[in-house]
Amino acid sequence: MSASVHDAAPVAPPRLRWLKATISAFNANKTSWVGLVIVVAVILAAVLAPVIAPHDPLEQNILSRLQPPHENYYLGTDYFGRDILSRLLYGARISLVIGIASTVIAMLAGSLIGILAGWYGGRFDVVVMQAMDILLAFPSLILGLILVAMLGPSMENITIAIALTSIPSFARIARAPTISVKERDYIEAGRALAFSDARIMARHILPNIFPEILVMASLWLANAIRTEASLAFIGLGVKPPVATWGGMIREGFENILDSYWLVLAPSLAILIIVFALNILGDGLRDAIDPKLKGER
Amino acid sequence: MSAPVLSVQNLQTAFRIGGQWRWAVEDLSFDVAPGQTVAIVGESGSGKSVTALSIMRLVSAANGRIEGRIALEGRDLLALPEEEMRKVRGNDVAMIFQEPMTSLNPVLTVGFQIAEVLRYHRGLDRAAAEAEALRMLERVRIPSAKARFSNYPHQLSGGMRQRVMIATALACKPKLLIADEPTTALDVTIQAQILELIKTLQDEEGMSVLFITHDMGVVAEIADRVVVMWKGRKLEDAPSAQVFNSPVHGYTKALLAAVPRLGDMLGHGLPLRFPRIDPDNGEVRGQPVEAADTVKAGEAPLLEVSGLTTRFGIRGGVLGRLRGRVHAVEDVSFTLQRGETLALVGESGCGKSTTGRSILRLIEPSAGTVRFGGRDVTKLGKADLLDVRRSMQMIFQDPFASLNPRKSVGSALAEPILVHGLAKGTEAQERVADLLRRVGLAPEMGVRFPHEFSGGQRQRIAIARALALSPKLVVADEAVSALDVSVKAQVLNLMLDLQAEFGLAYLFISHDMAVVERVSHRVAVMYLGEIVELGPREAVFSDPQHPYTRKLLSAVPVPDPARRSLRRELAVDEIPSPIRTLDWSAPRQTLVETAPGHFVRQAL
Amino acid sequence: MSAFLVKRLGFAVVTLWAVLSLVFVVVRIVPGDPAQVILGDQADATAIAAMRTRLGLDAPIAVQYWTFLSGALRGDWGVSLVTGRPVIQEILAVLPWTIELTIVSMAIGIVIGVPLGVWAAINRNRMPDYVTRIASLLGLSFPPFVSAIILLIVFAIMLRWFPVISAGQGSASAWFQAMALPALNLGLIMAAYITRVARSAMLEVMQEDYVRSARAKGVPWRVVVWRHALRNALIPIITIVGLYLGILIGNSVLTEIVFNRPGLGKLIVGALNQRDYTMLQGMMVIYTLIVVLVNIATDLTYALADPRVKLS
């Protein structure tokens, strides 16, 4: 509970307040710090891949294929003699770019749909949300699978496919709080003060539901990264020889009986980033939840 | 006097908040004698509900701590193992709560929930327990109890649910009934029924009652003895008559002075300000002052509502066809002068709030005209409507919900000024500071956020925001209902001051008859969407014409302990619903002037 | 039958129609002529024309739509472009595999997830809660093919308790051997999701006034938790478990590939790789049917759990 903090604390300027609120949200659930550190580390590794990767991720070396980890190749080599650590670092770029891009697209489109449906209500709401429900009911991995197969497995298409499968969830997430905030008296007071609909939505509703949407975005980023890997595992990832985590597992799976490290490293990589994002999002959701309830 | 049923000695209850222990109840002692009703009175945060939960030991063990001694017929409840305490709950001590709507389990039938107590405490088998449960439903005078037995809670009204709660509580014939604000969520006519039922059952069973409430009127109706609490401490503990007639403690005096009493206003033609109370010792300073006459009677009316009707369709069935209509507002007409306060009173569902919102067109009315300053609001286009709305503002009931939690108070007040281009930059800041000063807050408080203010302060801020556009009319929808008595008096005084200063007209929507009598010039009583009586305040209160007005007035509890022995009949009426079938047509009635300016609805 | 159920049935029919139409449109607006795509770049014009006739692509669009819709409803989903056998037969041949796997996994998920979630909720912010929360978060972080590979390596390759290819049939023990690892993989992930839902639903319900009333009337604690609270928490749990079936079906595709188990998942991946358009159409129809049926089942269960539904 933060109520006691506010009573005595001197009043901070608005920007610092925001920062303080974020930090106290993290402190409310300390494990979310762990998630944040891991996520930042993975992003740094992906950005710095050209600098820190010991080898060219695409360089084949037939003489040193399927080598177990040793000092030259910290994580071993694959069937074509490529360095697994380097491929892992470059693969992180694909995962993060597709994951972040598709989540941002889904967040923007979904929130817009959800806020409009929640605010205007009536027939518009019914039709739009029924359409969203239909999309939501369909298994998202299979929808993604079909979309990528139809559009062709390029980075843009995979991003679009994953974004499309997550739009309904964001629409639902944005709509529910919009409806509950809409019922609050301060929104009605805004109407009585002759504010326009656009102003009420942008200045009064959005800031109140934004933390919830942002937290869901971190959870959905985890989902998007997992979906991208799943698609690549099925063979619908970015085309080889480009390194993707799911693709590395797919290739390694053929030699699983004698070269387990081919699968182990990318599997752990996916698990760690997804777990870290989930811890982060979950911790933040816990932190913002009691506050929203406390307002009544 | 015989040995007390309940004896609380040096009770201390603490909660852990943010890692620190904070006392909610400190060093509280009192007794409840057999057959006696003791009321614990206090405002929010006084620790009265925590006391009740402490006696039941329903305070969470992880975050709560109870010390002292709570003896039930000599047995220390705090020393009992949890399993023994469980056998006491619902058996020796039973409790009913404030919210009958949410206190019953929605997925279990009413009969099951009553029978359950008998099965666990009396060891009855299912059939015997259900037979006894049915008898209990009859004892709490639920009509056609047999049919109600297998109903789920959502099929019953709030009053009926509270009866079910009482039946559950009394099933095992407890020695003590703890009632925590059992009528606060109910309408005043239903409240009267439930209070009467509790009194009757108490006489029949000979049990003791510990009654927790904030309402001095209810206290006077029901209590033999009163314990006044303030910030976790006991201030006064005396027989009711003594507390009401010669209160000892300053706070008790202040509390009583702040309570509007129905009938106090005889001989006062104008609204009466509340006396000033010293916040330190609670001493009442000076006599209540009558407000200045602010009504501009000679002018054309500021607001002229005629034939206003608002209906909502009820859709149902597979294709969502229109099944019926809620006749929320039916043919409502009245006028309002500049500087006048017209009160709209009635019970829940009577359409008073919908009327207010329909006038501002926050809800679209179905028919009728609303002329404001000569323009018909119902015919205006979007731009004109936004223009007119600036002169009509609204204040809401819940001070917690009426301010955007993510906006500082200063920017919330500046927003309307900036959006409508009334001022810019430092001039806007000046205006905000001025608004805060006018509602009795320091301009420096503008940088704070709503959660840093108390309920009363928030309501002042909401009033300041409503004043930002210099309106002529303010619709106050239950604006003081959620506030504690003393805070309520201050906010009402502020509203009277602002009326005198700016010549504001108030449409004062309220269910609280005593407050309405205190602040209004004229009163309109609403029932089932219609105005059944409309007239000068003094005339309506001293000479009510319509049967519903009389019923409403007689149900209001009055803070006078002489009425303790008064018994009403055990009525079970429900508030009827304004939902009608599609082909329903209103009975032909009209408002008839029985005295100058005093109208009563009568059949043609 | 109540208006609620009629409404939900109506929604199911609309869903079915919408998805079928979507499938019809998508197959036709995808860049490139399907016939060309199927036959490859070298195919000559007559072969492409023949393929277009075979696919029914030369008929007017309205006729195509009608043929497609009515065919879908009659169970005539065309012929596989790869095997030449009717699509419906190919699907029906593997459907039982997927259905039994899904049901067993869901059962595992519910049996583990609900009690675990309740247990965590009533021990909020204590050790059992922390352990359960971290474990369930880890569980739902696993990409299903990664957990499947781990199970495969540990139990099939290293310990040799189960076969590497999970396609056994005939005896009960063969069935169990084939079912164990895939069902465990899907069931544990499902349990992770359900635990979280059950926990948060219970936390919410435990704060309700009626739970306090139940305690105030001296009902034993276990009855408060398992009858008064859980009965109410089941209502949101049912809704969300219904939604999770989509996740489960998606995960089963990956699981079937790793364990080399027959089923819809393997069929759809095969159809994707071989560009078997008619098969893909049929797959989408069957998935939609499954989703719609599950939704109806969810709604029925929901109506049974919540007495307030029947009247509305």
Taking only the tens place, the pLDDT of each residue in B339-390 is: 999 999 998 888 999 999 999 998 899 999 999 988 999 999 888 888 888 8
Sign of CA pseudo-dihedral B282, B283, B288, B292: negative
Q: Do A130 and C143 count as a contact with CB atoms less than 8 A apart? A: no
- The CA dihedral of A226, A228, A233, A237, to the nearest 10 degrees, is -170
CA distance B164 to B170: 10
Q: Is residue B563 part of a domain?
A: no
Report the pLDDT value the prediction gives residue C176, as an integer from 0 to 100. 83
CA distance B512 to B490: 16
- Show Cβ contacts of residue B576 under 8 Å, excluding neighbours closer than 6 positions: B528
Residue C286 distance to chain A (closest CA, Å): 11
Is residue B185 scored above 80 in pLDDT?
Answer: yes
CA distance B92 to B147: 29
User: B18 and B114, same structural domain?
Assistant: yes
User: B349 and B243, same structural domain?
Assistant: no
Report the pLDDT value the prediction gives residue A53, as an integer from 0 to 100. 76
Q: Do C291 and A275 count as a contact with CB atoms less than 8 A apart? A: no
Instruction: Give per-residue pLDDT as tens, C166-202.
Output: 666 677 788 888 888 999 999 999 999 999 999 999 9
Are B338 and B299 spatial neighbours (Cβ–Cβ below 8 Å)? yes
Give the closest residue to B575 by CA, choosing from B206, B190, B213, B285. Answer: B190
Are C293 and C285 spatial neighbours (Cβ–Cβ below 8 Å)? no
Give A241's pLDDT tier (boundaries 50, 70, 90).
confident
Instruction: Give per-residue pLDDT as tens, A66-77.
Output: 777 777 777 777
Which residue from B389, B392, B402 is facing A185, i.e. has the nearest CB? B402
Q: Do C218 and B88 count as a contact with CB atoms less than 8 A apart? A: yes
Residue C312 distance to chain A (closest CA, Å): 18
- Show Cβ contacts of residue A110 under 8 Å, excluding neighbours closer than 6 positions: A166, A167, A168, A169, A170, A171, A173, A174
Give the ipTM of the model, two decimals please. Answer: 0.84
Q: Using DSSP, state whether B114 is helix, strand or coil.
A: helix
CA distance B121 to B124: 8
CA distance A273 to C100: 33
Give the closest residue to A78 by CA, choosing from A244, A227, A228. Answer: A244
Q: How many CB atoms lie within 10 A of CB A33?
A: 15
CA distance B492 to B514: 12
User: B243 and B367, same structural domain?
Assistant: no
Taking residues C215-224, what's their average pLDDT? 93
CA distance C53 to C72: 19
Q: Is residue B267 part of a domain?
A: no
User: B443 and B375, same structural domain?
Assistant: yes
Q: Using DSSP, state whether B586 is helix, strand or coil.
A: coil
What does the DSSP 8-state code read for residue B274? P
Mean per-residue pLDDT of chain B = 88
CA distance A155 to A140: 18
Give how far Cα C211 sits from Cα of B102, B157, B379, C217, C233, Å.
Answer: 10, 20, 51, 10, 12
What does the DSSP 8-state code read for residue B377? G
* Domain span including residue B406: 303-522+582-588
- Show Cβ contacts of residue C25 under 8 Å, excluding neighbours closer than 6 positions: none
Which residue from A4, A14, A192 is facing B18, i.e. has the nearest CB? A4
Give the closest residue to C105 by CA, choosing from C181, C196, C177, C198. Answer: C181
Q: Looking at the complex, does the CB of residue B99 fall below 8 Å from at least one CB of chain A?
A: no
Are C307 and C232 spatial neighbours (Cβ–Cβ below 8 Å)? no
Question: DSSP secondary structure string, B434-451?
Answer: HHHHHTT--GGGGGS-GG
Q: Is residue B298 part of a domain?
A: no
Q: Do B465 and A189 count as a contact with CB atoms less than 8 A apart? A: yes
Q: What is the CATH number of the domain that holds B66?
A: 3.40.50.300
Taking residues C230-237, what's their average pLDDT? 92
Q: Is residue B284 part of a domain?
A: no
Q: Report the 3 state secondary structure along B208-270.
A: EEEEEECCHHHHHHHCCEEEEEECCEEEEEEEHHHHHHCCCCHHHHHHHHHCCCCCCCCCCCC
Taking residues C156-171, what's their average pLDDT? 76
Q: How many domains does chain B have?
A: 2
Pairing of strands B367-372, B375-376: antiparallel
User: B233 and B134, same structural domain?
Assistant: yes
- The percentage of residues in chain A with a pLDDT greater than 90, rounded to a whole number, is 21
Instruction: Give per-residue pLDDT as tens, C236-270.
Output: 898 888 888 888 888 999 999 888 888 998 898 88
Q: Is residue B556 part of a domain?
A: no
CA distance B170 to B151: 20
- The percentage of residues in chain C with a pLDDT greater than 90, rounded to a whole number, is 34
Which residue from C208, C228, C308 is facing B102, i.e. has the nearest CB? C208
Report the pLDDT value the prediction gives residue B283, as an integer from 0 to 100. 67
Q: Using DSSP, state whether B49 is helix, strand or coil.
A: helix
Pairing of strands B598-603, B341-345: unpaired
| Bigger pLDDT: A133 vs B564 | A133
Is residue B93 scored above 70 in pLDDT?
Answer: yes
User: B169 and B310, same structural domain?
Assistant: no
Report the pLDDT value the prediction gives residue B62, as an integer from 0 to 100. 76
Are B157 and B574 spatial neighbours (Cβ–Cβ below 8 Å)? yes
A176-180, A271-275, B105-109, C192-196: the lowest-pLDDT one: A176-180
Q: Do B169 and C217 count as a contact with CB atoms less than 8 A apart? A: yes
CA distance B344 to B519: 12
Is residue B1 scored above 70 in pLDDT?
Answer: no
Q: Is residue B534 part of a domain?
A: no
Q: Using DSSP, state whether B97 is helix, strand or coil.
A: coil
Give the closest residue to A113 by CA, choosing from A59, A20, A176. Answer: A176
Report the pLDDT value the prediction gives residue C118, as an integer from 0 to 100. 96
Which residue from A6, A192, A195 is facing B452, i.e. has the nearest CB? A6
Report the pLDDT value the prediction gives residue B499, as an integer from 0 to 100. 93
Pairing of strands B341-345, B505-510: parallel
Is residue A10 scored above 60 in pLDDT?
Answer: no
Q: Do A194 and B390 count as a contact with CB atoms less than 8 A apart? A: yes
Is residue B279 scored above 70 in pLDDT?
Answer: no
Chain C interface mutation, best of A38, A142, A165, highest count of C Cβ atoms under 10 Å: A142
Strand partners, A83: A77
Instruction: Give per-residue pLDDT as tens, B298-328.
Output: 888 999 999 999 998 887 665 667 778 888 8
Residue corresponding to tokens 């990318």 = A266
For the ranges B115-119, B387-391, B479-483, the maximum mean pLDDT occurs at B115-119
CA distance A62 to C2: 70
Q: Do A194 and B386 count as a contact with CB atoms less than 8 A apart? A: yes
Give B489's pLDDT tier (boundaries 50, 70, 90).
confident
Is residue B602 scored above 70 in pLDDT?
Answer: yes
Is residue B7 scored above 90 in pLDDT?
Answer: yes
| Bigger pLDDT: B248 vs B178 | B178
Interface of B with C (CB under 8 A): 56, 58, 62, 86-91, 94-95, 97, 99, 102-108, 116-117, 120-121, 152, 154-155, 165, 168-169, 316-318
Instruction: Give per-residue pLDDT as tens, C261-311.
Output: 889 988 988 888 887 878 888 888 888 888 888 888 888 888 888 887 764
Are B409 and A186 spatial neighbours (Cβ–Cβ below 8 Å)? no
CA distance C203 to C196: 11
Q: Looking at the complex, does the CB of residue A136 fall below 8 Å from at least one CB of chain C?
A: yes
Mean per-residue pLDDT of chain A = 81
Residue A60 distance to chain C (closest CA, Å): 26
User: B308 and B180, same structural domain?
Assistant: no
| Bigger pLDDT: B19 vs B413 | B413
Chain B interface mutation, best of A185, A293, A296, highest count of B Cβ atoms under 10 Å: A185
Give A295's pLDDT tier (boundaries 50, 70, 90).
very low
Task: For C235, name the nearest residue in chain B, comparing CA atoms only.
Answer: B107
- Show Cβ contacts of residue C83 under 8 Å, excluding neighbours closer than 6 positions: C90
Task: For C289, name the nearest residue in chain A, comparing CA atoms only.
Answer: A138
Q: Which residues of C fall within a CB distance of 8 Å from A235?
A: 269, 272-273
Instruction: Give per-residue pLDDT as tens, B217-246.
Output: 899 889 999 999 988 999 999 999 999 988
Which residue from B97, B121, B155 is facing C218, i.e. has the nearest CB? B121
Taking residues A84-95, what's their average pLDDT? 88
Taking residues A189-204, what's their average pLDDT? 84
Locate the DSSP E strands across B33-133. 37-41, 64-72, 75-76, 93-96
User: B141 and B52, same structural domain?
Assistant: yes
Q: Which residues of A fall within a CB distance of 8 Å from C185?
A: none
Q: Looking at the complex, does the CB of residue A184 fall below 8 Å from at least one CB of chain B?
A: yes
Give A264's pLDDT tier (boundaries 50, 70, 90).
confident
Chain C interface mutation, best of A95, A141, A151, A156, highest count of C Cβ atoms under 10 Å: A141
Report which residue type is found at B555. A
Report the pLDDT value the prediction gives residue B301, as an integer from 0 to 100. 92
Which residue from B396, B406, B448 is facing A189, i.e. has the nearest CB? B396
Instruction: Please give the angle made by the CA atoms of A134, A140 and A141, to the nearest 5 degrees.
Output: 155
Report the pLDDT value the prediction gives residue B281, as an integer from 0 to 100. 62
Instruction: Give per-residue pLDDT as tens, C44-96.
Output: 788 878 877 777 777 788 888 888 888 878 878 888 877 888 889 999 999 99
Taking residues B192-196, what's their average pLDDT? 90
User: B118 and B235, same structural domain?
Assistant: yes
| Bigger pLDDT: A139 vs B223 | B223
Are B87 and B121 spatial neighbours (Cβ–Cβ below 8 Å)? yes
Q: Do C280 and A146 count as a contact with CB atoms less than 8 A apart? A: yes
Is residue C111 scored above 90 in pLDDT?
Answer: yes
Report the pLDDT value the prediction gives residue A1, as an integer from 0 to 100. 31
Strand partners, B285: B276
Give the closest residue to A26 by CA, choosing from A181, A213, A173, A211. Answer: A211
User: B352 and B228, same structural domain?
Assistant: no
- The CA dihedral of A293, A294, A295, A296, to the nearest 10 degrees, is 60
Q: Do B107 and C231 count as a contact with CB atoms less than 8 A apart? A: yes
Task: For C277, name the nearest residue in chain A, comparing CA atoms only.
Answer: A150
Report which residue type is found at B366. S
Q: Report the 3 state secondary structure along chain A.
A: CCHHHHHHCCCCCHHHHHHHHHHHHHHHCCHHHHHHHHHHHHHHHHHCHHHHCCCCCCCCCHHHCCCCCCCCCCCCECCCCCEHHHHHHHHHHHHHHHHHHHHHHHHHHHHHHHHHHHHHCHHHHHHHHHHHHHHHHCCHHHHHHHHHHHHCCCHHHHHHHHHHHHHHHHHHHHHHHHHHHHCCHHHHHHHHCCCCHHHHHHHHHHHHHHHHHHHHHHHHHHHHHHHHHHHHHHCCCCCCCCCCHHHHHHHHHCCCCCCCHHHHHHHHHHHHHHHHHHHHHHHHHHHHHHHHHHHC
CA distance B221 to B564: 5
Report the pLDDT value the prediction gives residue C312, as an integer from 0 to 100. 43
B294-298, B496-500, C2-6: the lowest-pLDDT one: C2-6
Q: Helix count (H) and strand count (E) of chain B?
A: 19, 25
CB hemisphere CA count around B239 (13 angstroms) = 6
CA distance B481 to B343: 14
User: B473 and B385, same structural domain?
Assistant: yes
Q: How many CB atoms lie within 10 A of CB C222?
A: 9
User: B399 and B481, same structural domain?
Assistant: yes
Structure tokens at A44: 């740094």
